[in-house]
A and B are shown apart, each in its own frame.
Chain A
Amino acid sequence: MKLAEFTDKHIAFREEVREFARKELLEESTQIERKGEFPWHIINKIKERGWLGVNFPEEYGGLGLDTTSYIILVEEIARVCASTAIMIAAHVSLACQPIYVHGTEEQKEKYLITLARGEKIGSFGLTEPNAGSDAGGTETTAEFVGDKWLINGSKRFITNGTIADLIVFTATQDRTKKTHGISAFIVEKGTKGFEPGKEEDKLGLRGSITSELHFEDCKLPRENLLGKEYEGFKVFMETLDGGRISIGVLALGIAQGALDYGIKYVREHSVNGKPLYKYQWVQKIISDAATEIMAARHLIYHAAMLKDRGAESVTEEGAMAKLFASEVSTRVCSKIHSIFGKDGVTRKYPLERFLRDTKLMEIGEGTSEIQRIVISRQILGR
């Protein structure tokens, strides 16, 4: 499928990733999800190509490509294996990105370079048991005692939680100030008082890791504050502006992957001697899916390209892209799934995995309902 705005470089990069996904990931993708084990060997291959820092300047260990290229990367990987794609998305857009945007030069030197090179894996800790949609309700506390930050509290549903070497997270310095009491910090694996907790047993994305994080009198050096004090809300809101496009493109990739399988299946199978693709009910499902996917693709790449052109904010465009793409993907996966009959529900075909995987996209990094609130605020004001 063509997108009018793609440059030759984008197209070449897409071909490269696509080739990689086909060769290295396709066959293994079902096993990755079924075993529920993190695919280190795949991640190492991705790391070797520099893709874990695809959109960061070379001086910070990245490849120096643009946001659009990063979005292309996630789409092509998600099209084959969403578990791998979400790991990359969390690493790049939720860990590297806030350090790149809000970090001091020292922090970038110290953390971003190793992250972008893929030598370390990053993660982002925002959600808590009682602070989901309401991130302002953060209960993890940060207190400045002596010359250190004292952190106490728990995080939940953290992608890459147990495998991350470094986690950007939020904590409140003053609960009464709600969103204005929150600050952002960086914690490294192995820090005393910090312990990743239980891994979740999930509906889908079972090859990726989602876990709890626990802080108990965890002491962090003064310089581990990311951004300014009390401005953590700004840090994560800006992070999520970009993160939404990532989740949107994950959904898009999954939907495209489902459609790929659907097209193959209806060409190869017949009912009562007539090939499936010659039935109108099948044509309707395939054409609706392709159209909706195309519309989602436009929204997503529009948001990504706006960012590349230096737009001040992509809040509205990102939220719209994520909302639309995630709902489209659930619909597309479910519909294509139904063409497969019983082949759709046994693990013989990956269709059932696509449906289980994509449902998270309507929930993670802001539910569809939250996206609607974000969009309406952009349009109507607070």
Chain B
Amino acid sequence: MNIAVCIKRVPETAEAAVNIDSSEKRIVEDQLVFDINEADNYALEEALLLKEKTEGDITLFTVGPKEADEVIKMGLAKGATCGVRITPENLDSLDSYTIAKLLAEPIKEENFDLVLTGCISSDAGNSQVGVTLAELLGIPHASLVINMEIEDDSVTVQRELEGGLLGELKIKLPALFTIQTGINEPRYASILGIKRAAQKEIKVVENITVEGMKTEIVRMYYPPAGKMAEILEGGVEEVSGKLCEILKGKGLL
């Protein structure tokens, strides 16, 4: 089985201070640490597990700057076969649709049985690239997948729905799934794998310009403090203490 996995390099913003630059359309990336998008890491692991069970190759795809080679290389270190990085001239103005379009071109050229992506990116958070890509490839898809069972030419997947509900689908291959976090336990790369991966070449697609953007970021901003909102200041303990008092005062605690 040949599998394509789409991965993205994203800044780790959970605990870092995020500032918006003067254009108001981008965040300042200087001080941030980058890593593979969390959900993509699970998608990659799912592909690696499948590869261990069945014969075949894993090809990694990413749309991003040169630094995105990092996440491809880490994927190669873990056991992926090869990687493709797509860096269009107008990288900064892409939307979900054009990213999907860029990915669709090379993926279409090869006959993949399965395409996996993460269900959401931790930076843009659109959850659109995967499903749009499936449409562009003309293959069925399932999103938010938390379990996969392959049987010959079809796959049974479980999807996570709202309110703890699960949905089970049987889908004909080739298909695309967007993988939910927690589906497996992503591995660490072996040190030997890292050594080998560092020598491997990544296929690069550049000097292209993609057209057909459907959405545009107008601006990014922190919402102004609302009139009804009270911003509690102080350290963690101080703030939690104050919060408890307010809740107590309103009879909520």
Seen from chain A, the residues whose Cβ lies within 8 Å of a Cβ on chain B are 129-130, 139
**Chain A residues in 8 Å Cβ range of B235:** 130
What's the minimum C-beta distance from A175 to chain B, rounded to whole angstroms?
12
A378 CB → nearest B CB, Å: 29
Interchain residue pairs with CB less than 8 A apart (9): A129-B237, A129-B238, A129-B241, A130-B234, A130-B235, A130-B237, A130-B238, A130-B241, A139-B241
* A129, B238: Cα distance in complex, Å: 8
Among all A-B residue pairs, the 4 with the closest Cβ atoms = A130-B238, A129-B237, A130-B237, A130-B235
Interface set of B (CB-CB < 8 Å, partner A): 234-235, 237-238, 241
A45 to B176, alpha carbons, bound, how many Å? 80
CA distance in complex: A337, B119 (Å): 56
What's the nearest-Cβ distance from chain A to residue B155, in Å?
52
Name A131's closest neighbour in chain B (CB-CB). B238
With contacts defined as CB atoms under 8 Å apart, how many contacts are there between chain A and chain B in the complex? 9
Contacts of B238 in A (CB 8 A): 129-130
Q: What chain B residues lie within 8 Å of A129 (beta carbons)?
A: 237-238, 241
CA distance A139 to B237 in the complex (A): 12
Chain A positions within 8 Å of B234 at CB level: 130
By a CB distance below 8 angstroms, the chain B residues around A130 are: 234-235, 237-238, 241
**Min C-beta distance of A129 to chain B, whole Å:** 5
Contacts A130-B235, A130-B241, A139-B241 aside, 6 further interface pairs with beta carbons under 8 A come to A129-B237, A129-B238, A129-B241, A130-B234, A130-B237, A130-B238
Contacts of A139 in B (CB 8 A): 241
Separation of A139 and B235 alpha carbons in the complex (Å):
14
- How far is it, in angstroms, between the C-alpha of A139 and the C-alpha of B241 when the chains are bound? 10
Give the distance to chain A from B248, nearest Cβ to Cβ, in Å. 12
Closest Cβ of chain A to B26, distance in Å, is: 37
In the assembled complex, the Cα of A130 lies from the Cα of B234 at a distance in Å of: 9
- For B235, give the chain A residue with the smallest CB separation: A130
- Give Cα A129 to B241, complex, Å: 10
Chain A residues near B237 (CB, 8 Å)? 129-130
Least distance between A375 CB and chain B CB atoms (Å)? 27
CB distance from A151 to the nearest CB of B (A): 16
- A139 and B238 alpha carbons, distance in the complex (Å): 10
Cα distance, A87 to B234, chains bound together (Å): 32
Chain A residue with the shortest CB-CB distance to B238: A130
- Give the complex CA separation of A130 and B238 in angstroms: 6
Give min CB distance, B56 to chain A, whole Å: 54
- Give the docked Cα–Cα distance between A130 and B241 (Å): 10
Q: How far is the CB of B61 from chain A (nearest CB, A)?
A: 50
Least CB separation from A153: chain B residue: B241
CA distance A139 to B234 in the complex (A): 13
**Once the chains are docked, how many angstroms separate the CA of A82 from the CA of B108?**
75
For A154, give the chain B residue with the smallest CB separation: B241
Q: How far is the CA of A238 from the CA of B31 in the complex (A)?
A: 46
CB distance from A214 to the nearest CB of B (A): 13
Closest beta carbon of chain A to B245's beta carbon, Å: 10
- Docked Cα-Cα span, A130 to B239, in Å, equals 10
State how many angstroms separate the Cβ of A192 from the closest Cβ of chain B.
22
Report the bound CA distance from A129 to B235 in whole Å.
Answer: 10
B232 to chain A: closest CB distance in Å?
12
| Of listed B234, B235, B238, residue having the most chain A CB within 10 A | B238
A314 to B238, CA, bound (A): 34
Smallest Cβ distance from B238 to chain A, in angstroms? 4
Tell me, in angstroms, the Cα distance from A229 to B235 when the chains sit together. 29
Q: Cβ of B241: which chain A residues have Cβ within 8 Å of it?
A: 129-130, 139
B173 CB to nearest chain A CB (Å): 57
Separation of A310 and B18 alpha carbons in the complex (Å): 57
Nearest-CB residue, chain A, relative to B237:
A129
CB of B135 to closest CB in A, whole Å: 54
Nearest residue, chain B, Cβ from A139:
B241
Give A129 to B237 CA distance when docked, in angstroms: 7
Within the assembled complex, what's the spacing in Å between the Cα atoms of A352 and B92? 56
* Separation of A139 and B245 alpha carbons in the complex (Å): 12
Q: How far is the CB of B124 from chain A (nearest CB, A)?
A: 38
Q: How far is the CA of A139 from the CA of B240 in the complex (A)?
A: 14
Give the CA-CA distance A198 to B235 in the complex, in Å.
21
Closest Cβ neighbor of B234 among chain A residues: A130
Q: How far is the CB of A278 from the nearest CB of chain B, in Å? A: 48
Chain A: minimal CB distance from B249 (Å): 14
CA–CA, A278 and B241, complex, Å: 59
Residue of B nearest to A130 (CB): B238
Given the complex of chains A and B, what is the CA–CA distance between A130 and B235 in angstroms? 8
| Chain B: minimal CB distance from A169 (Å) | 18
Bound together, the chains give a CA A130 to CA B236 distance in angstroms of 10
* Minimum Cβ distance to chain B for residue A140 (Å): 12
What is the minimal beta-carbon distance from B242 to any residue of chain A, in angstroms? 10
Q: CA A294 – CA B201 in complex, angstroms?
A: 67
